[in-house]
Structures are given as structure tokens and as C-alpha cells.
Amino acid sequence: MSAVDAQPFAKPMQSPSAISPGQRRHTLPASEFRPLNTQDAISVFEIEREAFISVSGDCPLHLDEVRHFLTLCPELSMGWVEEGRLTAFIIGSLWDQDRLTTDALTLHKPRGSTVHVHVLAVHRTFRQQGKGPILMWRYLQYLRCLPNVRRAVLMCEDFLVPFYRKSGFKVLGRCAITVANLSFTEMWYPISGHAYMRRNSEAIRFPQLTSPLELPLELPRTGEQPET
């Protein structure tokens, strides 16, 4: 599986001649979702460290691990960039077993059909704006474009279980992985069918899309969801 196969982030190019004389040119798009790369690693780690150290005392991924996954599987990451600034991100990798084990923290299994979501984090300046749920929704819709992916899994502390439940994840049980004195709940999300969004438990189907970027920016929500 590769980013080239799905082309999830591609946008149609507009030639300079197609821009009318009175049309304003923008150096940077106001808001975009794109895959991350190793040049984003420091920004990613700074956001992650600020978000997790004060709460858990450690980060899901250290800087070398961020670089590791952004080298091996950048197509399984997603960053939300506003006016050139990274505001939120997700990093994932492929896994090939039913449940997570310690190896899942560092390995990428290219033949796996499960996406292990290692981390979702939002920059402190942009929290309490609903960005975490929107980014997760975008990411899950993107995964539907990848033909070999069947589900997403993650592990989280118990206080985050309601947050991920609102995004559609279901509890699998206690995770076999522990980090220092922390234990985790393992959760999963089925990946199948076309992209859709839910509103009051009703599924609204979209016509076939070339890119999740064509989906609406804002998600209808019944209430504010906590940020990670």
C-alpha cells in the first residue's frame, strides 16, 4: 500500500492562466489536511510533548519514533495545517494481529490490514474548538480509501474512552501493553464501505469522492467533545 495508490490528499491544480486578474492569490492555503513527512517531526513532537507530558508523564512517541514512522509509512499520518502552521495531527502504522502487543509500539507491518493509531494531538492554542473529533473523522474517512485496511485500533487511558467512543470506536478490553505505571483500554473501529458522516445516529452517504478533502470541513455534532 502506498500514498500513490489512493491519492487521498491530491487537489486539482489550477494553472496561472486560469486565475482571473482580479482574483486574489494566496501563498498558503487557509486550511488543509495533508500527510506528514520527516520535516514535520519536530513540530509534531513539540505538540505531542506539551499535550501528554503534563497529563501522562510521557509521550506515546518520542522524536526518533516520530521520524521512524514518518519515514516508513507517512501515508498513514494526517496533519491539519492552517496558514502554514501545524495545528493537529495523527500518526498511524500497519499492524497484523488481532490485538496490540508491545511490538506494535515500534513496528510497521506493511502486509497488515489493521491501522494502529499511535497518537492524536492538538496544539494547545487550538484546543476546545472541536479539532480533535474533526481530524479523527477525516482520518477514518481517508482510511476507507485504502483497499487493504479493514479496521483501526488504538490504546488509550480510561478517561479518553468517551472521547473515542463518540468517534465510533468500540472497546475491545484491557490492553496487554503497559507503560511505566500506566494501563490502557484497547479500542477498535471497523473500516468498510464509502465515506459517510453520522448525525443523530443517522448515516448520510456521500457520492463517490476522489478525496476525503472534498468532504465538509465541519462535522455536525450533538455536543462539544473533549480534546486530546
Q: Are 166 and 122 in contact (CB under 8 A)?
A: no
Exactly one of 68, 76, 77, 118 is catalytic; which is it? 118
The three-class DSSP label of residue 227 is coil
Known catalytic membership, residue 182 = no
CA angle 40, 132, 49 (to 5 degrees): 50
Beta carbons within 10 angstroms of residue 166's beta carbon = 16
Task: Write the DSSP assignment of 202-214 as a string of letters.
Answer: EEEEPPP-S-GGG
Which residues does residue 81 pair with via DSSP β-bridges, in sequence order? 32, 86
Known catalytic membership, residue 120 = yes
Exactly one of 63, 72, 105, 107 is catalytic; which is it? 107
Task: Report, in angstroms and rounded to the nearest whole number, the Rg of the chain calculated over CA atoms.
Answer: 18
Specify the amino acid at residue 130.
Answer: G
Task: Write the DSSP assignment of 54-116 as a string of letters.
Answer: HHHSS-SS-HHHHHHHHHH-GGGEEEEEETTEEEEEEEEEEE-SSS--GGGGT---TT-SEEE
Exactly one of 61, 120, 143, 160 is catalytic; which is it? 120
Known catalytic membership, residue 118 = yes
Exactly one of 93, 139, 142, 167 is catalytic; which is it? 93
User: Which cell numbers hold the place of 55?
Assistant: 497529563
Q: In whole angstroms, what is the distance from residue 140 CA to residue 17 CA?
A: 36
Exactly one of 164, 167, 189, 211 is catalytic; which is it? 164
Catalytic positions are: 93, 107, 118, 120, 164
